[in-house]
Each structure stands twice: as C-alpha cells, then as structure tokens.
Amino acid sequence: MELFDRIEIHDLLLRCIIGINDAERKNKQDVLINIVMWADTRAAARSDDIADAVNYRSVTKQIIEHVEQSKYFLVERLVEQIAEICLRDARVRQVEVRLEKPGALRFARSVGVTITRTRKDLATDAAT
C-alpha cells in the first residue's frame, strides 16, 4: 500500500449562492470548507522548489474563484466541483472535501457534506 502525505486547508470561509429556496437563490450565504489532499511531498522536501510541490495557494485561489461565482442548488454539486479542482494537480492522489452551511438548519450549528475522491474517480466520471 502506497502512503501519501497530507496537505490540509482548514476553515476556508466563503460566500456564494447555494440552495433551493427562494431566499437562498437571492442572497449569498456563508460556506465553510475543509480540505485534505493526499500527495507525495518528498520531491518538494528534497528540492525546496515550489515547482515540485502542490501549490496549495494556487489551488485555494481557484477554489475561491469557483465558489464565489457558483450558483449551485445542491451542496453535493459544489463539494464535487471543489474536489475536481484539487485533483487537477497530478500530484494529488486523493482529496477529502467537507463543505458546511452554517445556520442552514434550525437548532443546528451547521449542516455539511463530506466526500472523498481519487484520481480514479476523475477518470471514471470522464468516461460516463
């Protein structure tokens, strides 16, 4: 079994249109995103060169741009799109993305969806 290192992005707080209700379609809401990317970081550790690393700043900028412009109805769709952005870097072998909508449910701090995707999942989705 091949082991990989973890690159983590914690509590990325963004605003977007997300949801099925009329108010959700008109007003941007907060979404809280947590990401874990599994990649082999040894080449970057040896070279100390960003060209050998997963550039998590670049990945985060792509996610911010995508989320802030998105207008999805379902959290499931948005979280899947975020995972695909992370997997664009060939060094990322697997990603776990959790997206929460704080205050979406009465009496709950938040509601969220967590998914795990691999490079193989990207290839499978492209074939369908």
Please report which helix (H) or strand (E) contains residue 33, including its range.
strand 29-39
Q: For the chain, percent helix, then strand, then coil, each to nearest 5?
A: 40, 35, 25
CB 11 within 8 A of CB 34: yes
Tokens of 24: 């959700």
Catalytic residue among 28, 61, 101, 120: 101
d(CA 76, CA 100): 11
Query: Strands, DSSP E only, in 65-109?
Result: 71-72, 92-102
d(CA 92, CA 109): 31
Q: Catalytic annotation on 26? A: no
- Hey, which residues are catalytic here? 101
